[in-house]
Amino acid sequence: MSLRISICIVVRNAIHDLTCTLASLDRHSRTLNLLPAEIVVVDGYSTDSGYSLLIDWSRPFPCETRLVQQSPSGIYPAMNLCVGLAQAEWIMFINAGDLLMDAAPLGPALSFAQETGACSIQFESAVFRPGSACGYWVPRSFPACHQSLVYRRDLHECCGLYTESLDIVSDRLFDLSIRKYGRIQYPALLSATQVSPANASRDPKRLKKDWMITRESDIPFDIGTLGRLTFFLLTIEKQLGVSLSVWVRLRISLLMGRARLVQLG
């Protein structure tokens, strides 16, 4: 059987997060092997024994695994290397710290996409605080979340690779560029991602830098009025050490019955 999906991971000096991510893959190893899937990992020459952990983990793991190291130069060069190494028809990124919640929907969703000609699939995702045993999931909600986005690898041929001059928004720009080729919204929980002010994606300085680059380069990315407010909120949350706006919103959704708690292990 030919490989159906490449599950890509990029990591640097995040051995605790990586351990959790690999454990989530272990829990679904049988399903992934039946797809079949491959695991592609790019490590930024970690100094915390993370690469040794990957080597030891990959030996008994049933799926084909590709491990490479690359000089650290940002997340998007590492993601682009993953794309170049991937050999399956479909790609998904689930980076260190993210969790694969359920691999069972992948097979049916990929088959449905094949039948309909869709080129990308947006699954549902949960979010959780670092160290938490459970996460928040809003069923039937499909926010742009690259940890739960699966897309055809050949989309990079027409839409290009991830923009390496950007720090945190290139995956969002790529997501916007591929939607016109057909998108399935698949109502199943696929992954969970941790949210904290320590996340690079919630760094107001990096967001502002990317915003300025897109404006100067005429890249179609406008954060709008609410986006400008985001700079202020992210700055406050960085100082507080907690992503207050996220958890307040999800707590209200939970009280209103729109969100539910899910176990992560």
Q: What are 176-195's pLDDT values in tens digits?
A: 999 999 999 999 999 999 98
Give the percent of the chain with pLDDT over 90. 71
Give the percent of the chain with pLDDT over 70. 95
Q: Is residue 231 part of a domain?
A: no
Q: Is residue 212 part of a domain?
A: no
Query: Tens of pLDDT along 115-147?
Result: 999 999 999 999 999 889 999 999 988 887 889
Q: Is residue 204 part of a domain?
A: no
Residue numbers of the domain that contains 78: 5-196+257-263
φ, ψ for residue 228, nearest 5 deg: -65, -35
Kindly indicate the confidence band of residue 220, based on its pLDDT and cuts at 50, 70 and 90. low
**For the residues 69-85, what does the mean pLDDT come to?**
95
pLDDT at residue 104 tops 60: yes
Angle between helices 15-26 and 50-58 (to 10 degrees): 10
* Side-chain half-sphere CA neighbours of 74 within 13 A: 15
Residue 158 structure tokens: 């027409």
Can you tell me the distance from the alpha carbon of 176 to that of 171, in angstroms, rounded to the nearest whole number?
9
- pLDDT of 198 reads 76
Kindly indicate the confidence band of residue 224, based on its pLDDT and cuts at 50, 70 and 90. low
Residue 227 structure tokens: 């986006």
Q: Is residue 136 part of a domain?
A: yes
- pLDDT of 237 reads 77
- The CATH code of the domain that includes 172 is 3.90.550.10
Q: Is residue 210 part of a domain?
A: no
- pLDDT of 207 reads 81
Among 1-10, 20-29, 113-122, 222-231, the minimum mean pLDDT is found in 222-231
> Which residues make beta-bridge pairs with 140?
none
Q: Is residue 178 part of a domain?
A: yes
Over the chain, what is the mean pLDDT? 91
- Give me the number of domains the chain comprises: 1
Q: Is residue 251 part of a domain?
A: no
pLDDT at residue 62 tops 70: yes
Alpha carbon distance, N-terminus to C-terminus of the chain: 30
pLDDT at residue 216 tops 80: no
Is the pLDDT higher at 217 or at 113? Answer: 113
- pLDDT of 221 reads 67
The 3-class SS string of the chain reads: CCCCEEEEEEECCCHHHHHHHHHHHHCCHHHHHHCCEEEEEEECCCCCCHHHHHHHHHCCCCCEEEEEECCCCCHHHHHHHHHHHCCCCEEEECCECEEECCCCCHHHHHHHHHHHCCCEEEEEEEEECCCCCEEEECCCCCCCCHHHEEEECCHHHHHCCCCCCCCCCHHHHHHHHHHHHCEEEEEEEEEEEECCCCCHHHCHHHHHHHHHHHHHCCCCCCCHHHHHHHHHHHHHHHHHCCCHHHHHHHHHHHHCCCCEEEECC
Q: Is residue 245 part of a domain?
A: no
Residue found by looking up tokens 């980076």 in the block: 95
pLDDT at residue 2 tops 90: no
Q: Is the peptide bond before 36 cis (omega within 30 degrees of 0)?
A: yes
